[in-house]
Amino acid sequence: MMKVKIGIIAGSTRPGRAGRAVADWVYQQASECAGDAAFELIDVADYGLPLLDEPLPPSLGQYSNEHTKTWAEAITAFDGYIFVTGEYNHSVPGALKNAIDFLYSEWNNKSAGFVSYGSAGGIRAVEHLRLIAAELQMADVRAQVALPLASEFTNYTDFAPTEQATQALGPLLDQVEAWARALKTLRTKPGA
């Protein structure tokens, strides 16, 4: 069975964010149950991306800025992604949307899963991410982990996942890995 590489993307960059703790938890859980998949944490905050500043559309793949080239190189390395997102004003954090918008072909024909958090578990942010993923030719999986602040965070701030959240993560990991494997064959066909 071919090995696949899954990136766990921490999508919030603001100080005091809960997203990094959630992403660390996803990474830990994924690493403990990884079969034929390798998982790596990607923190958008580590890339220092400015507001989208490429003069040409990303679909052309002609990047002029070093930060874009570095980001593209990091994202290209993966067969699938698990996006960890908070819900900001019923949508995706601006930093995550901006990071996604920098690239195009690097996302194509790869799997995508979502772990979200917020007052309503972040489900509205994920609905937006599913539309974005479709435009980028990503295969988003059905399983999703939604983490409400009231039940998965102590005092609404400190991440403390319940057993139910941990159990929900398993099917998400399985689906992202399965689709990553299937889509990898598509990307490695001659002429692809």
Is residue 192 one of the residues assigned to a domain?
no
Is 190 in a helix, a strand, or coil?
coil
To the nearest whole number, what is the mean pLDDT of the chain?
95
| Contact call for residues 38 and 5 (beta carbons, < 8 A) | yes
The position carrying tokens 């949307």 is 97
Residue 192 has pLDDT above 60, yes or no: no
Nearest to 96 by CA among 128, 66, 74: 128
Q: What are the pLDDT digits (tens) for 116-142?
A: 999 999 999 999 999 999 999 999 999
Q: What are the pLDDT digits (tens) for 25-76?
A: 999 999 998 678 999 999 999 999 999 999 999 999 999 999 999 999 999 9
How many structural domains comprise the chain?
1
CATH, residue 87: 3.40.50.360
The whole-number pLDDT of residue 33 equals 82
Is 8 in a helix, a strand, or coil?
strand
Is residue 19 one of the residues assigned to a domain?
yes
For 166, the domain range is 4-187
